[in-house]
Amino acid sequence: MKQFIYRLVATVMLFTAAETVATEGSKATFLMLVSPKAKRGWEYIGQGKAQQCREDDGTFRLSQPKINEVELRYNPKKQMSGIWWDFRFRQEAGTPVTSGIYTALSRYPFGQGACVDFGGSGRGCNNLIGDLNILDITHDEEGNIQSFAANLLQHCETIKHAPLFVGIRYNSSIPVIVKPEELYSSQHKPASFIHYLECPRTDAETPDRNEVFHNITSNQTDFTIKCSQIEDLSGFGRGIDIKIASEPSNIWFTLPVPKKKYLKEWRHSVLAMSDDAVFYTDDYYYLKEYRIRELKLNDSKQVIKFAVDFIAETEDGKIIQGSLRHNSDVAVNLEKPYND
């Protein structure tokens, strides 16, 4: 039986990149939620989904009722969707809200000191523990908030429950780039995970812009990441074979590695669509390019650390871009997983 594994023949170029450097881009307003699933259930507020809410989808209202408070309300344009969100943060009385890291926050408005709360769509925490990193907050001449950027990690009830990650951007150009521990917390960080974005066609005939985010972890399902011998591809020694048990279909792909380059970063580019360069989930996506950010093997040639970002496309123009991490602390761009 033919093995359901695909080989990628690529042009190899050395690549150097800063791990978490945020490049300035166009300013945007959105919410990015990552709610992890687990084999025994999922995070309650986000219901085990990865999702993004943008201005195309609904309205955002950011306000500052007091100098020590910030509130954000998101309402969808399609009320039947039922997805609305509230974010509230309060600093200690009389203390202005400024950029900084706020840890071990209790539930707003019942905390004695700084407190926070994120919920909506009929779901909220009775108690919570949260960490909030306010990356940026600016005001206009009248004191209204002009821009705001923050990352929230919120555990409902106790630290034993899986956390919800929320990236909040309001008129901000700061990308949502986080390390695995910042995304899942140190207590719940999975050994392996894949975060990817499906982009439907956006041409004149099919103006569909409903991107779909997926976040799958080894706390939820089985990952198999192994090193295999490649003998039929000139210039390549071994490949990284990846299999993820997922719904509605499994994920398979293979990334050949140039000989003697296991400990460096590099980028592989595919010059044309090929049946030997396929990322498969519920459709065939022809890999266009992938960037290996980290790779470490032990003496037995087992993969002990691995980080890769990739982009792939179907024949009819659908795009997938994603990031996979295995025992790696390399950061991920949640909004644009493959972002040069």
Predicted confidence at residue 263, as pLDDT, reads 45
How confident is the model at residue 252, as a pLDDT?
83
pLDDT of 17 reads 30
Tokens of residue 208, six digits: 């569909």
What pLDDT shows up at residue 205? 52
pLDDT of residue 115: 97
Domains of the chain in sequence order: 11-18+196-333 (no CATH), 28-174 (2.40.128)
The pLDDT of residue 229 is 55
Question: Could you report the average pLDDT of every consecutive run of 10 residues in the chain (340 residues)?
Answer: 31 28 70 86 88 93 95 87 89 94 95 92 93 96 94 94 96 97 94 91 53 91 77 54 80 69 54 59 82 86 89 88 95 89
Residues 6+ apart with CB under 8 A from 175: 22, 23, 25, 333, 335, 336, 339
pTM of the predicted model, to two decimals? 0.85
Residue-level pLDDT at 15? 26
Torsion on CA atoms 261, 215, 54, 338, rounded to nearest 10: 10
